[in-house]
Chains A and B, each alone.
Chain A
Amino acid sequence: MFDFPEIFALPLGEWINIAVDWLTVTLSSVFNIITIGIRTPLVYIERFLWWIPWWALILILAILAWKVARHWVATVTVIGLLFIGLIGLWDHTMTTLAIIVTAVFVSVLIGIPLGITAAKSDRFEQSIRPILDGMQTMPSFVYLIPAVFFFGLGKVPAVVATFIYAVPPSIRLTNLGIRQVAAETVEAGKAFGCTGAQLLFKIQLPLARPSIMAGVNQTIMMALAMVVIASMIGASGLGLEVLRGIERLDVGRGFLAGFAIVIVAIIIDRISQAFGRAGTTRK
């Protein structure tokens, strides 16, 4: 009598399975289009990262860091990437980077317009807020499964899963940034005869830029956090190295791959944060 009566238990899990099966068949063409849409940039980015000589990439990132961020970031970039090369994880890092760059690219491409829409419409903001909450709090393992059903194994479902996990901050902070632009400044734009697009591109987006870039920065960080999890559905790269380290109880291997992820995270974080600051307050 202390147990919940089993006959009342709803077979909800069953229903979800049925729904997913149905979706897989019915919407297969949609999923095919999405797959192509993700795979195309992914392939090009990956090819580029494999094609570019290691020293050239280090040089480019170091110059970028030197230009936009504090100078020590450039130093960390050089030392960190050299270290990754020395421990033999360069190729894995490039694979991981390709997945992250693609996922962030898709997230920004979809997240910022959604954020703008949310800033312009209270109703839209209210309706997406619970969805965003759900996307962020749902354990990320859970949507690995439908991702596999819809997109198969490999890097494409990894990008999709990473996108779902990482896109909310881009939407939220774009929305917030635009809403926080001083009312008087927006009024000034209108008073001088701005069209809606002029208002957006000349006033709202530039002034919301620090906030939007903070959102993109968070998106990048969350995408990095998904790397290991995504490796469970066949995404190669540093995540897979960590996973193999765990499977084979090879602490050294797992630790080195994990360390490489941290290095990549620090470099991308500092450079992308600096992009948010640039133009508003110069150091």
Chain B
Amino acid sequence: MADNNHKIRCQGLWKIFGPRPESIRDLIENGASKQEIREATGHVIAIRDVSFEVQDNEVFVVMGLSGSGKSTLVRCINRLIEPSSGSIFIEGANIGEMDEHDLRELRRHKLSMVFQHFGLLPHRSVIDNVTFGLEVRGDSKKERMENAQKALELVELSGWESSRIQELSGGMQQRVGLARALAIGSEILLMDEPFSALDPLIRRQMQEEFLNLRSKVKKTVVFITHDLLEALTLGDRIAIMRDGAIIQLGTPQEIVTMPADDYVREFVKDVPRGKVVPVSTIIEEPPLVTDGEKSVKATVEEMEKKGVDFAFIVNANGVCEGALALEDALAVKENGATKIGEVARREFPTISPDATLEQGLPLISEGDMPVAALDKGRRLVGIITRAALLKAVQSNGENSGAPKVTTHQG
């Protein structure tokens, strides 16, 4: 029933805190708000009909303010909190049907968790904290040490094995928390606001290291945060939660360029688009592409005819070999006999189509030519012009195509 690619599948999930969750069904169906239900019955709806799928090796960020239900949601995934209704599948297995033993095995091998305030054991040394999950599941001492050492290396804490937890800074403590989660070798990592308790500078550093870590080890991550910028930086996809429901689910780019409603729009208003939107959105067709065998004279004529001052040289396989600027071409005297391959620049600004607008900015400001967007095989995909890039960076949601909605009462 589960597609192979879905690591985690969550279907129609509800969590209602209170003595008799079923008793408020009618109120919910009649469209009562969270606030109304709480005042009338004392029940709190923490999660309201949430469904999503997390793909293998994906970082799925759940973003919301406090009280949005995001921490409850992540705890439902390993059943630290029992959902009121709905089901969660992990690698196709319905965890709601598991008995205590199976659930424990699941937690010991398939899921690991990182906590906001680290949840470390102050009476144990660093290494004994990292081995905790392995110890609990009964691994041999040798295995425990090997895996813990590897995990400590990944978080760059080698050499701190015998330190006491209180001796470490917050950032280092969270690395221990991360190492403890990595040590058990689970494919799924649940991270509940792991960097929220850290200083802003340390937080940035940890975010970078997290991305770095992701390139080294394959993990499926559910990442909880209240920080939109963090969500946009780290997430492959982002689910934005409000009052227990997911109000938008999409890639960072979709969230920024196409906010689903005013609530999300308000959130992304101040986000620098340049950090999120890839240059592929503003790629243009190169006006003049030629091969290196042509004479300079012929090429200059062609450039003048098209009214451009540059040309890209692409070989038969589509690989971009050089760029020719008009001024370089005009400086050649024997322009009838010289091939453009000889005078073209070998070094010219290039960028990957996946790079963000912000990463494109320095290239644009340096050169006198547009930037060539090359794919991994250095094939020319298109060009990024200065005008298009500057316009995209400054536009801030105005060209998103989404109609500007103003709400009135009623």
Chain A interface (Cβ < 8 Å from any Cβ of B): 182, 184-185, 187-195, 198, 202-203, 206-207, 209, 279-280
B111 touches A191 (CB 8 A): yes
A182 touches B119 (CB 8 A): yes
28 contacts between A and B (CB under 8 A): A182-B117, A184-B116, A184-B119, A187-B115, A187-B119, A188-B115, A188-B119, A188-B120, A189-B136, A190-B107, A191-B78, A191-B80, A191-B107, A191-B111, A191-B190, A192-B112, A192-B132, A192-B180, A193-B105, A193-B106, A193-B137, A194-B136, A202-B136, A206-B123, A207-B121, A207-B123, A279-B123, A280-B122
Q: How far is the CA of A207 from the CA of B120 in the complex (A)?
A: 11
Q: Which residues of B contact A198 (CB under 8 A)?
A: 136
Q: B119's contact among A185, A194, A206, A279, by CB below 8 Å, is which?
A: A185
Interface centre among A190, A198, A279 (most CB of B within 10 A): A190
A184 touches B115 (CB 8 A): yes
Q: Which residues of B contact A187 (CB under 8 A)?
A: 75, 80, 113, 115, 119
Q: How far is the CA of A41 from the CA of B323 in the complex (A)?
A: 95
Interface residues of B in 94-133 (CB under 8 A from A): 104-108, 111-113, 115-123, 132-133
Would you give the shortest CB distance from A190 to chain B, in whole angstroms? 6
Q: Which residues of A contact B108 (CB under 8 A)?
A: 192-193
Q: Which residues of A contact B119 (CB under 8 A)?
A: 182, 184-185, 187-188
A193 touches B104 (CB 8 A): yes
Given known contacts A184-B115, A185-B119, A192 and B136 CB-to-CB distance under 8 angstroms: yes
In chain A, what residue has the closest Cβ to B107?
A193
B76 at the binding interface (Cβ < 8 Å): no
A191 touches B113 (CB 8 A): yes
Q: Which residues of A contact B190 (CB under 8 A)?
A: 191
Q: How far is the CA of A182 from the CA of B116 in the complex (A)?
A: 12
Q: How far is the CA of A207 from the CA of B190 in the complex (A)?
A: 25
Would you give the shortest CB distance from B170 to chain A, in whole angstroms? 14
Q: Which residues of B contact A203 (CB under 8 A)?
A: 121
A185 touches B120 (CB 8 A): yes
B184 at the binding interface (Cβ < 8 Å): yes
Would you give the shortest CB distance from A193 to chain B, in whole angstroms? 3
Q: Which residues of B contact A193 (CB under 8 A)?
A: 104-108, 133, 136-137
A187-B119, A191-B80 given; name 8 further pairs at CB < 8 Å. Answer: A184-B117, A185-B121, A188-B115, A189-B136, A191-B190, A192-B108, A193-B104, A203-B121
B80 touches A280 (CB 8 A): no
A188 touches B136 (CB 8 A): no
In chain A, what residue has the closest Cβ to B133?
A192
Q: How far is the CA of A78 from the CA of B278 in the complex (A)?
A: 77
- Which 5 residue pairs across A and B have the least CB separation, nearest first? A188-B119, A193-B108, A193-B107, A192-B133, A191-B113
Q: How many A-B residue pairs have CB under 8 A?
A: 63
B123 touches A280 (CB 8 A): yes
Contact count band on B: 20 to 34
Q: How far is the CA of A115 from the CA of B108 in the complex (A)?
A: 29
In chain A, what residue has the closest Cβ to B183?
A192
Q: How far is the CA of A189 from the CA of B107 in the complex (A)?
A: 10
Q: How far is the CA of A203 from the CA of B137 in the complex (A)?
A: 15
Q: How far is the CA of A189 from the CA of B78 in the complex (A)?
A: 12
Would you give the shortest CB distance from A210 to chain B, in whole angstroms? 10
Q: Which residues of B contact A184 (CB under 8 A)?
A: 115-119
A190 touches B123 (CB 8 A): no
Would you give the shortest CB distance from B139 to chain A, in whole angstroms? 12
A206 touches B121 (CB 8 A): yes
Would you give the shortest CB distance from B136 to chain A, in whole angstroms? 5
Interface centre among A184, A209, A280 (most CB of B within 10 A): A184
Q: Which residues of A contact B121 (CB under 8 A)?
A: 185, 202-203, 206-207
Q: How far is the CA of A182 from the CA of B119 in the complex (A)?
A: 8
Would you give the shortest CB distance from B137 to chain A, in whole angstroms? 6
Q: How far is the CA of A193 from the CA of B106 in the complex (A)?
A: 8
Q: Which residues of A contact B111 (CB under 8 A)?
A: 191
Q: How far is the CA of A244 from the CA of B103 in the complex (A)?
A: 66
Interface residues of B in 179-213 (CB under 8 A from A): 180, 184, 190
Would you give the shortest CB distance from A213 to chain B, in whole angstroms? 13
Q: Which residues of B contact A206 (CB under 8 A)?
A: 121, 123
Q: Which residues of A contact B113 (CB under 8 A)?
A: 187-188, 191-192
Would you give the shortest CB distance from A122 to chain B, in whole angstroms? 14
In chain B, what residue has the closest Cβ to A205?
B123
Q: B107's contact among A192, A202, A209, by CB below 8 Å, is which?
A: A192
Q: How far is the CA of A187 from the CA of B80 in the complex (A)?
A: 7
Q: How far is the CA of A189 from the CA of B133 in the complex (A)?
A: 8
Q: How far is the CA of A192 from the CA of B104 in the complex (A)?
A: 8
Q: How far is the CA of A193 from the CA of B133 in the complex (A)?
A: 7
Q: How far is the CA of A203 from the CA of B121 in the complex (A)?
A: 7
Q: Which residues of B contact A279 (CB under 8 A)?
A: 123
Q: Which residues of A contact B78 (CB under 8 A)?
A: 191
Q: Which residues of A contact B115 (CB under 8 A)?
A: 184, 187-188
In chain B, what residue has the closest Cβ to A190?
B80
Q: How far is the CA of A192 from the CA of B109 in the complex (A)?
A: 9
Would you give the shortest CB distance from A223 to chain B, in whole angstroms? 28
Q: Mark B146-187, 1 if CB is under 8 A from A, else 0.
A: 000000000000000000000000000000000010001000
A195 touches B80 (CB 8 A): no
Q: How far is the CA of A53 from the CA of B117 in the complex (A)?
A: 53
Would you give the shortest CB distance from B307 to chain A, in whole angstroms? 64
Interface centre among A182, A189, A191, A206 (most CB of B within 10 A): A191
Q: How far is the CA of A188 from the CA of B174 in the complex (A)?
A: 13
Q: Which residues of A contact B104 (CB under 8 A)?
A: 193, 195
In chain A, what residue has the closest Cβ to B103?
A193
Q: How far is the CA of A191 from the CA of B79 in the complex (A)?
A: 9
Q: How far is the CA of A33 from the CA of B184 in the complex (A)?
A: 50
Q: Which residues of B contact A182 (CB under 8 A)?
A: 117, 119
Would you give the shortest CB distance from B117 to chain A, in whole angstroms? 5
Interface centre among A188, A190, A192 (most CB of B within 10 A): A192
Q: How far is the CA of A198 from the CA of B133 in the complex (A)?
A: 11
